[in-house]
Amino acid sequence: MNYKIALVRGDGIGPEIIDSAVKVLDRIGKKFGHQFMYTDVLAGGCAIDATGEPLPEQSVETCLKSDSVMLGAVGGPKWDTLPGHLRPERALLGLRSAMKLYANIRPAVLYDALVSECPLRTSIAKEGIDLIVVRELTGGIYYGERGRGEGPMGRDAFDTERYSVTEIERIGRIAFEMAMKRRKKLTSIDKANVLESSRLWRETMHELKKEYPEVEYSDMLVDNAAMQLVRRPSQFDVVVTSNMFGDILSDEASMITGSIGLLPSASLGASKLGMYEPIHGSAPDIAGKGIANPIATILSAAMMLRFSFDLEAEAKCIDDAVSEVLRSGARTADIMGDSKAKALSTDEMTALILNRL
């Protein structure tokens, strides 16, 4: 099969880690008989430098015509003083909205070999962490009506959380489908004891669960979820929640796995066209030094194969290669912990993963 992939290399370490992912994809293509064709797309700070805007129209068009989009990272101190609408981060919002991506998928996995990196008690870490947060991405309080005014206590401000059944159903469906492909366990997180929007969320999820009798479904209040994530993260398989709760909980889930350089993400919508990127930023402090950990981006490529192209065996091949390399003791500087071994460069780590494929 042939697949067209738009590459947003972006800023900082973005180009370095995308290079690694491309090498891995090419090796997978050779092994399984696929051809991946890449088109470079300008977005972020580098696009501002080249064209004066963070997301040129041409870039959006190329992404929409592709089968999938891979993004390194955008942003950096050079562009920090620009007005909001000209900031590199606008490129991310612009792409998500143009591609109609309403679901953000973030796996949080603690590798056996990295249990010592986990900030939780060893006894908890040893039970394992292997969960996915499915976050609603284009609705809720971040997009609701907002304003400022005069209230009974003086000057005030408000933001509105509003969800339609359609929005809840479509994110719920993605989460149920994901649970079906994993351990068949889904936890829906809300604040239904207080919020009307959460009560509608819960009602809608309960309707939906009738279509997935094999999935062990439960509701959890967000305050309890925040505690349970650090008390016993092993209880979670797939977690689905609203935009704001997902924003906070997905960061908490990432943190407990110990390294930002290992975690991939996917943004999905109604079609197969998705955007895949590491959860970390452009790491300007280490850009150009050749020491960035490429694993989060390589695992993002695996997610792309799995979710956009339905290439499960190919995706698993990458996941397994990464696990094996980590188990062998190979480490980039960010995951060295107390190890006395030599920290590997981006290229060295990539080469080890390529060898295992």
Between residues 151 and 290, which has the closer beta carbon with respect to ligand NAD?
290
Given 26, 89, 251, 348, the residue binding ligand NAD (CB under 6 A): 89
User: Nearest approach, Cβ of 126 to ligand NAD (angstroms)?
Assistant: 25
Q: What is the DSSP string of 166-191?
A: HHHHHHHHHHHHHHHTTTSEEEEEE-
Residue 7-36 contact track with ligand NAD, rule CB under 6 A, x = bound: ------x-----------------------
Choose between 247 and 277: whose C-beta lies nearer to ligand NAD: 277
Of 59-88, binders to ligand NAD (CB under 6 A) are 73-76
Q: Which of residues 294-333 bind ligand NAD (CB under 6 A)?
A: 296
Least Å distance, CB 343 to ligand NAD, is: 10
For residue 4, give both structure tokens. Answer: 């067209």
Burial class from Cβ neighbours inside 10 Å (0-12, 13-18, 19+) for residue 340 reads: exposed
Burial of 30 (0-12, 13-18, 19+ CB in 10 A): exposed
Can you read off the two tokens belonging to residue 57?
């129209």
Q: Which two tokens stand for residue 130?
A: 């292997």
- The residue number whose beta carbon is nearest to ligand NAD equals 281
User: Could you say which of 172, 261, 264, 274 contacts ligand NAD (CB under 6 A)?
Assistant: 261
CB closer to ligand NAD, 66 vs 267: 267
d(CA 154, CA 156): 6
CA angle 264, 269, 270 (to 5 degrees): 145
Torsion of CA 344, 348, 352, 357, to 10 degrees: 140
Residue of 11, 67, 190, 247 marked catalytic: 247
Do residues 257 and 263 make contact, with C-beta atoms less than 8 angstroms apart? yes
Q: Does residue 281 belong to the site contacting ligand NAD (CB under 6 A)?
A: yes
Q: Which of 145, 141, 143 is nearest to 198 (CA)?
A: 141
Q: How far is the CB of 189 from ligand NAD (least distance, A)?
A: 23
Residues 167-226 that bind ligand NAD (CB under 6 A): none
Q: Which residues of 240-267 are buried (b: 16+ CB within 10 A; e: fewer)?
A: bbbbbbbbebbeebbbbbbbbbbbbbbb
Annotated catalytic, 223?
A: yes
Q: By the 8 A CB rule, do 279 and 296 touch?
A: yes
Q: Does 54 bind ligand NAD (CB under 6 A)?
A: no
Note whether 345 binds ligand NAD by CB under 6 A.
no
Mark whether 142 is an active-site residue. Answer: yes
Q: What phi and psi values does residue 338 have, to the nearest 5 degrees?
A: -90, 5
Contact 95, 304 (CB under 8 A): no
Among 47, 137, 205, 283, which residue sits at the site for ligand NAD (rule: CB under 6 A)?
A: 283
- Least distance CB 130 / ligand NAD (angstroms): 21
User: 54 vs 172, which CB is nearer to ligand NAD?
Assistant: 54
Out of 80, 156, 223, 320, which one is annotated catalytic? 223
Please confirm, yes or no, whether 247 is among the known catalytic residues: yes
Q: Which residues bind ligand NAD (CB under 6 A)?
A: 13, 73-76, 89, 92, 260-261, 277, 280-286, 292-293, 296, 334
Q: List, by residue number, the catalytic residues.
A: 142, 191, 223, 247, 251
